[in-house]
Every structure is written in structure tokens, then in C-alpha cells.
């Protein structure tokens, strides 16, 4: 007697991404109809105004339908796919997660296991005997498993970076025809760029989802302000519109700070970054001038002073300007700050920052010296109240101990919301930062 089917279909909708995000663009589907998916397996890669992330499905089973093509935008709550879960009629094994009821995981970029969800991916692989089985979880750093026999048109491509995929798609380049120079044939960004440079034929027509188009009315290339760039544009406009900002600056002799860093890095332990030392100075300064770790609640007409210090830092990436946030910076030492700055910077370059890592900052550190400039008047990262800008550190003539000397000089600037404090407070904060740069031993008073 045949077993009765206990299969039933569950609809997985685009989850609430939080942080005010209401829609996302489908960048790439990671599963096909008919694929067997595991609980918390990433099924689609989407781009929000905050980051590019992979969405894990909370159900395990067989994909029966997908909704939305690559390049289309979906609102939160719109169906993404349907998954058949339960026990098949033939008495076969139940689909993964059939008895678990799903993971309940609805937050983009996070799984229920300790390992990040985006590093686990299960796909059907055909064995030598022709029987389908599930491959072992695939590490992110290796190419996707290649099935025996011809690869389907929409089959896996040995490429990891979403930036590489988008670069190829925007320029009409077929990654399936491109040999990779990385391990196991992994396609790197250099491979795509070389292919674009050596194309003999004229560039392929720009795909519909390309971010640029040539205007037929006036000459020039138009780039829609959407995604990350659109979010940045909106935030900068709001900051200029709502915040009455002012800027003060001072030159400081950073010679002793550079010597202190060199001494700290002379051993074999983890290296301390200059950004980490500047952040450590900022947390000490904010402890003395907490008015600058605040925001203005315009509706209540109140200044809200915050206890925790979450330091954002401006980072330029291929996808535009992002501001990752180091949580609880006031509780971290220089080594911890260095590690977290490095981790977030790498994630920013790879396009894997989560929305939670890009929001919630209370103070921003902007090192524009990396662009080779001395000073700037940056726009405050709304709704924060202040931003410390750091220019390049260069040898300059300087009066040191009463005599002219060549010293490592840096210009420091503080842009602040004039509603939260007056010039005396802002000047006191900036002067304390400059004093710590010139005499790092002052930080010993804070230990």
C-alpha cells in the first residue's frame, strides 16, 4: 500500500530588512526550480540601499517556483519562492527541515548556525552512477561544484564576488565563456577587466538593468541615483537641509603618535592601525565632551545624549561610499579596534556588509588623508552630531621645543551640529584630540 503524500508548499516572502528598508533588487538567483534546499541555505542575492546580501530561506525542501527576474525590485512582503516540504508520496526521505518547521530566520545576512549562512550552500550533484545526491557544504573560497555532463545554460559559474558578476553583467560579458585565473578556475575581477579591454568587437549593448544610459535629449551619460549611491545622496541632502553644521580645524604634530605606533608594532603581535589609534583618541575625547555623542530629535525638540559610542568610518569602495560602524568602540582597546576596522573594511570591499553593520553610528571618523589632501569640510553623517576629519600626515617645517624642525604634521577638522553645543565645546574636543596626537601619553590618564 502506497504511503500518502504529506508534502505541502510554503511560500517564502522577502523578509523585513529592518533599518527602514522597504525594497530590494534581485541581483542573482542562487537556486533553480527543482533544487533541493536546506534550512538557512542562501537562495537569492539582493541589493538594498544599504548593502548587497544573500537571503537565506528558513525552510528546507524542493523549490517549486521563483518570483521575480534578476534586475527587478521587490517590496518587502512580496513572494520570493515556494518550497515543497514534507514526506513524498513514494515514502522517500522527508525534505530537509520538514519536521523542524523552518528556522524562523528572517533577517538578511544571518543564519541560525554559528557559521555565516552565506558560507553554506547545497546543490544537487549527479554522481557517476547517475543518481542525484546533495554535495557537501561548499566553502565560499572554492568554485561551485560542476555536474557531470554538459553544464546547463543557467548552471553554476566559478565566481564568488558579486562585484565581479555585476561588472560582467553591466558590460554584457558572459562569465560562462570566460576562463578564470584563480584557484580551480575561479573568475577574478582582473579576468573580467582583461576580457573587457581585449574585446575586438564593439561593446555589447548595455543590459536593461545597467545603471547607466545615454540620453537622447542631451549628450552625456545618465546614472540613476539608486541603490547605495541613491541612499547616500538622500542622506547627504537631508544632512545639509536639517543640520546647521560648523567646522573648526587645527594643525597638529603627529610625530610622537607615529613613533608610538611604530613602537607598538615592533613586536610579533597583531599590528595596530593608525585609524585604531585615532578612534581610541576619539573615544577618550567623547568621554570628556559627551555632548558630541548625541543627536537632535527634531520632533520632540530635544538633544539626545548617548552612552554607547559606535564609531562609523568612511570607506570608499567600488560600489560607492559606505560608512561601516564599529560597535561599542568605547569598550575596545587599540588591538580590538584594529581588528574590527580591518574586518569591516574587507567586508566593504567585498560587498558583504550587512545592514546592521552600516547603521547605528553615533560619531564618524573620516580619514580623507588617504586621498592625498590636507583638509576638508565633510557633511555630517545624519543624524549624528559630529565628524572628525583627518588629513594626510606629511613632513613640514614646525617649531619644536623653540627651534625649527621637520615634523610629521596633520590637519584635524571637526564638523559639528551647532544645535548640540557651542564653539567652546567643539574647540575643547578638537584641542584634546590634537593634544593626544602630539602627546599620546595623555591617553594613559584614561586607563
Q: Which residues does the annotation mark as catalytic?
A: 418, 422
Using alpha carbons, list the distances in angstroms from residue 239 to 270, 317, 380.
38, 22, 6
**CA torsion, points 142, 148, 150, 152, in degrees to nearest 10?**
-60
Spatial contact of 30 and 44, defined as CB atoms under 8 Å apart:
yes
Q: How far is CA 342 from the centre of its chain?
A: 12
The SS3 of residue 357 is helix
Helix spans in 51-106 (H): none
The three cell numbers locating residue 214: 545615454
Neighbours of 66 (CB within 10 A): 17
Spatial contact of 85 and 103, defined as CB atoms under 8 Å apart:
no
State residue 296 phi and psi, 5-degree precision. Answer: -100, 125
Residue 9 burial by Cβ neighbours in a 10 Å radius (0-12, 13-18, 19+): middle
Q: Judging by DSSP bridges, how do beta strands 294-297 and 302-305 pair with one another?
A: antiparallel
Max Cα–Cα distance, the chain, nearest Å: 100
Q: Within 13 Å of residue 280, how many CA atoms lie on the same side as its CB?
A: 26
Provide the angle, in degrees to the nearest 10, between the axes of the packed helices 334-350 and 274-288.
120
Looking up cell 576580457 gives 195
CA pair distance 292, 387, nearest whole angstrom: 9
Instruction: Examine residue 383 and say whether the peptide bond preceding it is cis (omega within 30 degrees of 0).
Output: yes
Q: Judging by DSSP bridges, how do beta strands 363-367 and 311-313 pair with one another?
A: parallel
Q: Judging by DSSP bridges, how do beta strands 213-214 and 325-326 pair with one another?
A: unpaired
CA pair distance 196, 167, nearest whole angstrom: 10
Spatial contact of 7 and 94, defined as CB atoms under 8 Å apart:
no
Spatial contact of 15 and 355, defined as CB atoms under 8 Å apart:
no
Pick from 384, 389, 388, 390: nearest CA to 417: 384
Amino acid at each position: 500500500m502506497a504511503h500518502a503524500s504529506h508534502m505541502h508548499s510554503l511560500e517564502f516572502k522577502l523578509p523585513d530588512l529592518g533599518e527602514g528598508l522597504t525594497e530590494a533588487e534581485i541581483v542573482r538567483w542562487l537556486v533553480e526550480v527543482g533544487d533541493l534546499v536546506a534550512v538557512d541555505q542562501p537562495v537569492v542575492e539582493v541589493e538594498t540601499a544599504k548593502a548587497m546580501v544573500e537571503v537565506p530561506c528558513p525552510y528546507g525542501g524542493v523549490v517549486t517556483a521563483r518570483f521575480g527576474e534578476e534586475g527587478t525590485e521587490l517590496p518587502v512582503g512580496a513572494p520570493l519562492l515556494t518550497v515543497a516540504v514534507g514526506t513524498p508520496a513514494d515514502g522517500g526521505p522527508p525534505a530537509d527541515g520538514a519536521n523542524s518547521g523552518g528556522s524562523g530566520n528572517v533577517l538578511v545576512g544571518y543564519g541560525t548556525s554559528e557559521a555565516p549562512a552565506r558560507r553554506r550552500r547545497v546543490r544537487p550533484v549527479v554522481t557517476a552512477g547517475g543518481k542525484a545526491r546533495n554535495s557537501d557544504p561548499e566553502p565560499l573560497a572554492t568554485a561551485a561544484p560542476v555536474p557531470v555532463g554538459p553544464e546547463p545554460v543557467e548552471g553554476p559559474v566559478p565566481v564568488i564576488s558579486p562585484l565581479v558578476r555585476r561588472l560582467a553583467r553591466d558590460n554584457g560579458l558572459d562569465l560562462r565563456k570566460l576562463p578564470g585565473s584563480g584557484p580551480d578556475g575561479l573568475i577574478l575581477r582582473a579576468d573580467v577587466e582583461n576580457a573587457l579591454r581585449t574585446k575586438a568587437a564593439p561593446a555589447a549593448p548595455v543590459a536593461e538593468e545597467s545603471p547607466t544610459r545615454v540620453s537622447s535629449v542631451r549628450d552625456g551619460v545618465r546614472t540613476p541615483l539608486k541603490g547605495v549611491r541613491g541612499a547616500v545622496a538622500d542622506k547627504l541632502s537631508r544632512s545639509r537641509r536639517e543640520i546647521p553644521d560648523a567646522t573648526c580645524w587645527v594643525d597638529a604634530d603627529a610625530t610622537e603618535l607615529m613613533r608610538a605606533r611604530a613602537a607598538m608594532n615592533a613586536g610579533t603581535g597583531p599590528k595596530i592601525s593608525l585609524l585604531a589609534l585615532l578612534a581610541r583618541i576619539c573615544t577618550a575625547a567623547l568621554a570628556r565632551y559627551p555632548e558630541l555623542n548625541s543627536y537632535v530629535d527634531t520632533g520632540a525638540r530635544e538633544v539626545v545624549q548617548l552612552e554607547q559610542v559606535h564609531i562609523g568610518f568612511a570607506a570608499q569602495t567600488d560600489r560607492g561610499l559606505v560608512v561601516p560602524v564599529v560597535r561599542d568602540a568605547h569598550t575596545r582597546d587599540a588591538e580590538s579596534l584594529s581588528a574590527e576596522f580591518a574586518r569591516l573594511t574587507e567586508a566593504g570591499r567585498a560587498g558583504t556588509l550587512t545592514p546592521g553593520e552600516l547603521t547605528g553610528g553615533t560619531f564618524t571618523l573620516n580619514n580623507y588623508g588617504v586621498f592625498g589632501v590636507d583638509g576638508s569640510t565633510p557633511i555630517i553623517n545624519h543624524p549624528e552630531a559630529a565628524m572628525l576629519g583627518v588629513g594626510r600626515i606629511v613632513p613640514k617645517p614646525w617649531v619644536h621645543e623653540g627651534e625649527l624642525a621637520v615634523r610629521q604634521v596633520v590637519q584635524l577638522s571637526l564638523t559639528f551640529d551647532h544645535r548640540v553645543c557651542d564653539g567652546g565645546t567643539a574647540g575643547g574636543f578638537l584641542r584634546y584630540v590634537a593634544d593626544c596626537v602630539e602627546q599620546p601619553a595623555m591617553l594613559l590618564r584614561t586607563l
